[in-house]
Amino acid sequence: QVQLVESGGGLVQAGGSLRVSCAGSGRSLPSYNMAWFRQAPGKEREFVASISRSGGRTDYADSVKGRFTISRDNAKTTVFLQMNSLKPEDTAIYYCAASRLGYCSGDGCPYDYWGQGTQVTVSS
C-alpha cells in the first residue's frame, strides 16, 4: 500500500512558476512508475507527465511540453512537477499517481494509487 500526498499548489499569475510535490509513504515509491494528472472544473482528468522508476524516461502532454518538468528523488520518495510559464488554462487540481506495472504514459494507463490532489490556480 502506498499513500501519496501532494503539496505546493497555490495561486500564481500567468507567466509565473510553481512546483508541486508528491510525497510517498514508506520506502517502496522507487519501485513505482509515477505520473501527474490534472482535472479542471467541468473537464475530464487528463494526463500531464510521467516518469519511469529510475527517472531515466519522462513523457509529457503536448499542452505542457517545454514548460513543465517532472522529476523524482527516490532517496526522499518524492516526485516533483516544476511548472513554468503558467497559463490560465493550467488551472486545475493536480494529482499524482503510482503504478507497479510497466511504464506507460498518457491517458488510459492504469495506476494503482492516487493522491488527493493539490489546487493550482493561474490568474490572468
* Residues in Cβ contact with 89 at an 8 Å cutoff, skipping those fewer than 6 apart: 40, 63, 122
Cα dist from 55 to 31, 59, 109, whole Å: 11, 11, 18
From first to last of its 124 residues, what are the pLDDT tens digits of the chain? Answer: 889 999 999 999 999 999 999 999 866 788 899 999 999 999 999 999 999 999 999 999 999 999 999 999 978 789 999 999 999 999 999 999 999 999 999 998 999 999 999 999 999 9
Q: Reduced to 3 states, what is the DSSP secondary structure of residue 53?
A: coil
Three-state DSSP at 123 gives: strand
Residues recorded for the chain: 124
